[in-house]
Amino acid sequence: MVIKNSMSWEEILGNIKSAIVNLDIENIQRLCLEAIKAGIPAYDIIMKGFSKGLEIVGENYERGEYYLAELVVAGETVKEGMKVLEPYLKGDEAQKIGKVVIGTVRGDLHDIGKNIVAILLRASGFDVIDLGVDVPPERFVEAVREHKPDIVAMSALLTTTMNEMENVIKALKEAGLRNNVKVIIGGAPVTDEFAKKIGADAAAKDAVEGVNICKSWLYRADQSCQAN
């Protein structure tokens, strides 16, 4: 008889996904540590464990099997797990390559995706000013005046709040600041077409794409500096 003493990555990630779906806040940190010990990259744990679990939580909510209380606990469960994973997502923060102001737009309290983007941006060498959630356009404008970032990044998870992104861009234009920054948007309902429509420079489908777009902008700016 073969005794199986180690789980495959698939099984470990499956357990993490199930822990999110079952709102198992007690065990999530232990499961994340197990995954890290097994050599699974932290970002894969987030995308293939947490995100897959949250998708199912969302579906259960749509079907009326879960309520707001379950969405809240699912969010808290992810946050507990993130405490274990965050150190493994960190890169060399010493060398700064640019500055990003990031926030979830007014009316929207979803911040799991935005936080992941902020962590990965920091890990890639960006100085990140995180304005939090439910951020009104004036606050984005103030932050751009104060911190003079290269990039403004906005997140929205609700179809009802994604239009706030356009209000932020309008406010930046009115303040004469729009041409000083690149604007990137993200969140489940956001598309490239929507970005074009509201005058954003790009939309990102996930955190990695978002970080790569931000890096490419600074790389190009750097090249043109050298050319001048």
Q: Terminus-to-terminus CA distance in the chain, angstroms?
A: 71
Nearer to ligand B1M, 31 or 130 (CB): 130
Smallest gap from Cβ 223 to ligand B1M, in A, equals 21
- Complex with ligand B1M: residue 24 or 111, whichever CB lies closer: 111
Report which DSSP code applies to 184: E
Cβ closest to ligand B1M, residue 12 vs residue 57: 57
Taking the C-alpha atoms of residue 214 and residue 201, their distance in angstroms, rounded to an integer, is 10
- Residue 1, class by beta-carbon neighbours within 10 Å (0-12 exposed, 13-18 middle, 19+ buried)? exposed
Q: Which positions touch ligand B1M (CB under 6 A)?
A: 51, 54-55, 57-58, 61-62, 68, 71-72, 74-75, 107-114, 116-117, 153, 155, 157-159, 184, 186-189, 204, 206-207, 210
Contact 159, 129 (CB under 8 A): no
Q: In the structure, how many helices (H) and strands (E) does the chain have?
A: 10, 5
- Cβ of residue 137: shortest distance to ligand B1M, in angstroms? 16
User: Which of residues 97 and 188 has its CB atom nearest to ligand B1M in the complex?
Assistant: 188
- Minimal distance, residue 173 CB to ligand B1M, in Å: 19
Nearer to ligand B1M (CB atom), residue 177 or residue 208? 208
Tokens of 43: 């970002």
CB of 6 to ligand B1M, least distance (A): 28
- Sheet hosting strand 182-186, strand order edge to edge: 126-130, 98-104, 151-155, 182-186, 202-204
* Distance in Å, CB of 34 to ligand B1M, minimum: 21
- Asked whether the beta carbons of 104 and 77 are under 8 A apart, the reply is no
